[in-house]
Amino acid sequence: MITRRAFLSGLGSMGIALTGGTAAVGQQHKRAARLPQGIGVEPDFAGPLPTPENILGRERALDSEVLTANALLAGTPVGPTPIDVARYFLQVGNGTFGEAWRPYIKGWPVRWNPVIVAFFQSTKTKPEGDITAWCAAFVNWCFQKSGKGIATQSASSGSFRTFGNQTTSPRPGDLVVFERTDPTERAAGHGHVGFFVATKGDLIEVLGGNQIEGHERSHMISSKKLSKNGSILKLHSYRTDISLHD
């Protein structure tokens, strides 16, 4: 079992920054907006996705890719709330900070995305590149980055089933926890977690990581409508806590 200290030391040796600090949100956004002009490097992959046995990256990212990831992570706002941190990555995906950063919000084929690997700094899990499920790591990282302390420190979405307090009237910024419909998977704590955005009938809009967009091998940070009673996932609970809000 690798210790957290050893894991974080390993991340440092790969050139992945251990981001933090107390700079104001406005200052962070200004810094992020300038960086793509001189530092962004397009990930070195193209063409169709590989075969299913290698659907996401296990190999070490290139130094140039780690450099870009460090710049992106350094530009993340400190807060004020976890969902504000998550929204920054939607801006990255929309091209707000330049085209070179856009691929860094999703899993890559062959090599791992160093941004996703960095999310696991907020957990006790050592990931296998970006093939390890990372929705809970993303929520934990946003929570930690916002300066609200520690959430669950677990890469399991099931760890959020008891986070804070359950609510039947969620507001944007609360958490949505899903569980697997398969009893064995559900008992193992498998499911999904993300930030609540809105509801419309049987659909819940969720801002989260490791969400499938377009096809089953496209896992990314997105704001996506999910069914409360899907064939694979069903709503477990909405969770609220004062630390999720101002």
Annotated domain spans of the chain: 4-145, 157-244
Taking the C-alpha atoms of residue 80 and residue 187, their distance in angstroms, rounded to an integer, is 34
Q: How would residue 224 be classed by pLDDT, with cut points 50, 70 and 90?
A: very high
- Report helix, strand or coil for 136: helix
- Report helix, strand or coil for 198: strand
What pLDDT, in 10s, does the model give residues 115-135? 999 999 999 998 888 889 999
Residue at token pair 């990930």: 43
| Cα 203–Cα 205–Cα 210 angle in degrees, nearest 5 | 115
The amino acid at residue 1 is M
pLDDT given for residue 31 in this prediction: 33
pLDDT (mean) for 72-80: 90
Q: What percent of the chain has pLDDT over 90?
A: 64
Contact (CB, 8 A) for 127 and 217: no
- Which has the closest alpha carbon to 90: 211, 199, 179? 211
DSSP 3-state percent helix, strand, coil across the chain (nearest 5): 35, 20, 40
How many CA atoms are closer than 13 Å to the CA of 224, on its beta-carbon side?
A: 17
Q: What pTM, to 2 d.p., does this model score?
A: 0.79
Q: How would residue 206 be classed by pLDDT, with cut points 50, 70 and 90?
A: very high
pLDDT (mean) for 225-229: 96
Decide which of 149 and 67 is more confident. Answer: 67
What order of strands is seen across the sheet that includes strand 175-180? 165-167, 233-240, 175-180, 191-200, 203-212, 219-227
